Amino acid sequence: LENGELDKVLTALEGALDVQDLYPEKKIFHISEVLAFHKLVIHYFLEVDNFEAAKSRLQIMNKLAPEHPDTQDIGKTYINYLTQKSLDQIEEMRKGAIEVIANRKITRKQTKKAPSFENKEIKYLYQHGLRIDPLLLDKILKLPRKSLICDLENVLIDGIARYNYFSKIEDKGDYSEETFSFPIHALFLLAEVRSEQSLDLILEFCSQSEEFLEFWLDSHITESLPGIFYFIGANQLDRLKGFV
């Protein structure tokens, strides 16, 4: 697979894409054998861009042993695949004549007014860069789950609604990591609490213009989004497919 010799993969599997077909004389398989086989086949399907087949195998692995290292590992690979496909589309549109992504309009009405939050601790996200004190993050994560998620979602919405406001601040040369890191903080924390309900909002945030994404996320577009999508969207693969 690493060398792109896909035909040899099928040859090694003797053309079988089911473990029972590969070992017809064997009636009982250890769970690790089944998972390892499905993992290899998923790798193959991703290499040939067969999204549906890969998704089907991953769903089987998640039903059999969701916490098994092989399931976790290939799940991350699968989400990376989806994310990379989306990034490739953005890059293709950026280079081509159809600048759809670059010209997308911001989805929220622009304002200069900061939002209000249920939990005062959320203000830390507006005062610290990515080197924020872990004790502050721990304090935030211990907040009531419902209000925490609501506040974090409002932080993301704020990143959209006050994009023009913060862009003008940067244009004046007043940029500082401490005050411009709140959206990525919110994304990381929503992933940390596994807020699957926030996926639609996260996809909305990530569907803004290319300039918007570079402004708020920069290198985190490729470095962090795959992991965030994995923790929040692993059980909502159809939604991620729609995003791609």
The predicted-structure confidence for 161-181, as pLDDT tens digits, reads as follows: 999 999 999 999 888 889 999
Q: What is the pLDDT at residue 96?
A: 45
**Are residues 44 and 139 both part of a single domain?**
no
**Are residues 69 and 132 both part of a single domain?**
no
Q: Indicate if the pLDDT at residue 222 is higher than 60.
A: yes
Rounded distance between C-alpha atoms, residue 15 and residue 22, angstroms: 8
Confidence bin at 232 (pLDDT 50/70/90)? confident
Confidence bin at 137 (pLDDT 50/70/90)? very high
In a domain, 97, yes or no: no
- Top-ranked range on mean pLDDT: pick from 11-15, 43-47, 60-64, 224-228: 60-64
**Are residues 234 and 155 both part of a single domain?**
yes
**Are residues 167 and 61 both part of a single domain?**
no
As a whole number, mean pLDDT of residues 216-234 equals 82
Q: What is the pLDDT at residue 98?
A: 36
**Are residues 153 and 230 both part of a single domain?**
yes
As a whole number, mean pLDDT of residues 186-206 equals 93
In a domain, 113, yes or no: no
**Are residues 211 and 124 both part of a single domain?**
yes
**Are residues 234 and 125 both part of a single domain?**
yes
| Model confidence pLDDT, tens digit, residues 36-67 | 888 888 888 888 888 888 888 888 888 889 89
**Are residues 127 and 220 both part of a single domain?**
yes
Number of domains composing the chain: 2
Q: Is 84 left (phi over 0), alpha (psi -120 to 50) or beta?
A: alpha
Give the residue from 228, 181, 175 showing the smallest Cα distance to 206.
228
Task: Give percent of the chain with pLDDT exceeding 70.
Answer: 77
In a domain, 131, yes or no: yes
Q: Where are the alpha helices (DSSP H) in the chain?
A: 6-12, 19-22, 31-47, 51-64, 69-95, 134-141, 145-161, 163-171, 177-180, 182-192, 199-206, 210-216, 220-223, 225-233, 237-243
Neighbours of 110 (CB within 10 A): 12
| Model confidence pLDDT, tens digit, residues 67-91 | 999 999 998 888 888 777 766 655 5
**Are residues 126 and 46 both part of a single domain?**
no
In a domain, 16, yes or no: yes
**Residue range of the domain that includes 163:** 120-243
